[in-house]
A and B are shown apart, each in its own frame.
Chain A
Amino acid sequence: MTMRIFVSRDAGAIAVGADEVALELERAAAKRGIAIEIIRTGSRGLYWLEPMVEVATSQGRVAYGPVSATDAPSVLEAMAADGPHALRLGVTDEIPWLKRQTRLTFARCGVIDPRSVDDYRAHDGYKGFERALRLTSDEILADVTASGLRGRGGAGFPTGIKWKTVPQTSADRKYVVCNADEGDSGTFADRMIMEGDPFVVIEGMTIAGVAVGATKGYIYIRSEYPHAVEAMNAAISAAKRAGYLGQRVGGSTHSFDLEVRVGAGAYVCGEETSLLESLEGRRGIVRAKPPLPAHKGLFGRPTVINNVLSFAAIPFILAGGAKAYADFGIGRSRGTMPIQLAGNILYGGLFETAFGITLGELIDDIGGGTLTGRPVRAVQVGGPLGAYFPRALFDTPFDYEAFTARDGLIGHGGIVVFDDSVDMSKQARFAMEFCAVESCGKCTPCRIGSTRGVETIDKIRRGERVAENVAVVEDLCNTMKFGSLCALGGFTPYPVMSALKHFREDFSPAPTKLQAAE
């Protein structure tokens, strides 16, 4: 009988040798006369175990990892004999790190062949879309609203309300735009889902198109993600062939087409209005709001613009899961969040779970602390615009409002762990420098504030009139926070101010005893 072996084609797995492992498995099987079929899936998100290799057995898939190319022959033999192996991890679904998760959005990621519509359908794919076709626009919108889904890109705006505005606005044509410009360091959930389960994004966008009466959608993917671009393009072609995109989608009266557009290395294009400008072929300069994209978006037409993860959450919700989705979470943060554990961390990867888990659980319990084995000193939550939290704040629950209350943000759900060798004044300087380089230049607080911020932090780091210059940085941050047009200038103060507040001792060459108040 042919052994079915699963090897990830996720960029994170390829980066640590998954292609070579797949090749070696083929070679070893040919040499031993073992019949195998290798299916390239997405990643399960347990990156410290990548390249992870799974084999279909009567008990379910059994995993081995991390497998190197030199391990491949012995792993293959162990698979064939169902025998012991040092890298054998047991039944994949029983691996505690995976079992503890609530995978709604990522249910299929790492399981299915991301190029196959049939495989997607065999794992509940297109159920939400089929149900949506039987509903009225209002009923679809009611489901999205009832799920409590909030924009997963970072802003956390209720998706249902965003969508509702579009059908209420009359226009000759409307658009659905997917923001796949995942530029935040420490985040990779968009990349993973596009590479591992691209059809869920397509299905979510198609449902949006049906709900708001849009016939064209764009997925704007950053150029740093060539594997995701390839995977999305392949999936779009497959969906077209299967009648899920194009004229009369799924046999309905609706038409919906999708196109991938590739960014060109500008971080600010992750901001939705800048992204729209870029899609229109212009410099990624932020637009003033109003008008909102829902009223005047792409090419001046009403546009639904959401993050990859927001669209990817939609199929589950529309497949009758609105209430089930809303039942997860705490407060006004409903459902699950695909959290990304990254940086200097022992068990890094994607952990999808209900809102409410604490930062400490995520770092110590699930993440296992640092990879270097040194104490965790700081974690940055929410990308380059997110605050640095010290251990004293590890009781913060993962929840939009709880992070806001502590001068932070959850952003796109990325957490970067730093050990005690980190110099926080350097990190604060980097935040300002990054903002200066990436600023679109439209508003003064961001454009000038960030440059002055770098200069002033440099003075502090050299020990020049530290107290006065710290006051200048605080003043600059205040101006940037309240005076910037978008989140780039507006949120850069979070990493800077949090570093100053919680790690003040790093802002003077002669260490002061000004310990953080908390």
Chain B
Amino acid sequence: MTSVYEPWNEARGAEIIAEHDKLEGATLVILHAMQEAFGYVPEPAIPMIASALNLSRAEVHGVFTFYHDFRHKPAGRHVLKLCRAEACQAAGGDALAARAEAKLGISLGNTTADERVTLEPIYCLGLCATAPSAMLDGRVVGRLDDQRLDALVAEAQR
């Protein structure tokens, strides 16, 4: 499953804002919708959101940068998230993370040079009784071992 995103387009951005700007406390909702459409939150969207919600640019920028989820540039074609929280650590997650880093030649939080794979840590998928766990483009995978991880990495590299 490869996510297909639209290229940034101001009119489309304005449309997304108009869909949500009447909601109470709409900032996060709009930022999520932007990222869903474009794969990241394009910088020109920030002043547009600010103006629609009668906020300062600094305020919207502050919200955008506070939350780990929002990207300021597109991720790789596939995003592989490895759970790095305690339950997965207890079940061998440290070694798996190191293995994924070695296989992809990047450290957690980075994207491969060919822009195919972004490898990220995630702090708890709530799959703690089937640890260690991961998520590839929104698909959850539990009971990871070397073999299952290698398959996931290979799938992400395709």
Contacts and interface: CB of A to CB of B under 8 A. Distances in A.
B112 interface: no
* Highest count of chain B CB atoms <10 Å: which of A188, A383, A417: A188
Interface in A165-195: 182-188, 190-191
Contact of B126 (A188, A267, A384): A188
A348 interface: yes
Given A278-B28, A371-B91, A427-B86, A12 B69 contact: no
B61 to A, nearest CB: 10
Contacts of B129: 12, 47-48, 188, 340-342, 345, 348-350
A256 B88 CA distance: 39
Nearest to B53: A281
B69 A185 contact: no
A186 B125 CA distance: 10
Contact of B25 (A279, A418, A430): A279
Contacts of A371: 91
Interface in A490-504: none
A408 B26 CA distance: 38
B107 to A, nearest CB: 15
Interface in B92-141: 92, 122-131, 133, 138, 140-141
Interface string A337-374: 00011111100111000000000000000000001000
B70 interface: yes
B19 to A, nearest CB: 15
A280 interface: yes
B124 A185 contact: yes
A15 B91 contact: no
A225 B124 CA distance: 9
A137 interface: no
B17 interface: no
A343 B87 contact: yes
A380 B138 contact: no
A220 B98 CA distance: 33
A345 to B, nearest CB: 7
* Highest count of chain B CB atoms <10 Å: which of A186, A266, A384, A438: A186
A380 B124 CA distance: 15
Interface in A409-443: 414, 416-419, 422, 427, 430, 434, 438, 440
A223 interface: yes
A434 B123 contact: yes
Contacts of A414: 87, 128
A516 B28 CA distance: 47
Nearest to A495: B86
Contacts of A191: 126
Contact of A281 (B26, B87, B90, B141): B26
B157 interface: no
Contacts of B37: none
Interface in A301-347: 340-345
A173 to B, nearest CB: 10
A279 B24 CA distance: 8
A29 B27 CA distance: 49
B126 A187 contact: yes
A284 interface: yes
A485 interface: no
B66 A266 contact: yes
A299 interface: yes
Interface stretch (A78-86, A257-265, A391-399): A257-265
Given A226-B138, A340-B129, A343-B131, A416 B87 contact: yes
A138 interface: no
B62 interface: yes
A297 to B, nearest CB: 13
Contact of B86 (A225, A340, A416): A416
* Highest count of chain A CB atoms <10 Å: which of B29, B63, B125: B125
A90 B123 CA distance: 37
Contact of A264 (B53, B69, B138, B140): B69
Contacts of A267: 123
Given A11-B140, A418-B90, A187 B128 contact: yes
Contact of A342 (B24, B31, B87): B87
* Highest count of chain B CB atoms <10 Å: which of A14, A227, A342, A380: A342
A99 interface: no
B158 interface: no
Interface of B: 24-29, 31-32, 53, 59, 62-63, 66-70, 85-92, 122-131, 133, 138, 140-143
Interface of A: 11-12, 14-16, 47-48, 50, 182-188, 190-191, 223-227, 261-267, 278-284, 299, 340-345, 348-350, 371, 380, 383-384, 414, 416-419, 422, 427, 430, 434, 438, 440
Given A16-B130, A345-B129, A440-B66, 16 more contacts: A15-B143, A188-B127, A261-B29, A263-B28, A264-B32, A264-B70, A278-B28, A299-B24, A340-B129, A343-B88, A344-B131, A348-B128, A383-B86, A414-B87, A419-B90, A434-B123
13 contacts: A47-B129, A184-B124, A185-B124, A224-B124, A227-B140, A261-B25, A264-B31, A265-B69, A280-B25, A282-B27, A283-B62, A342-B87, A343-B91
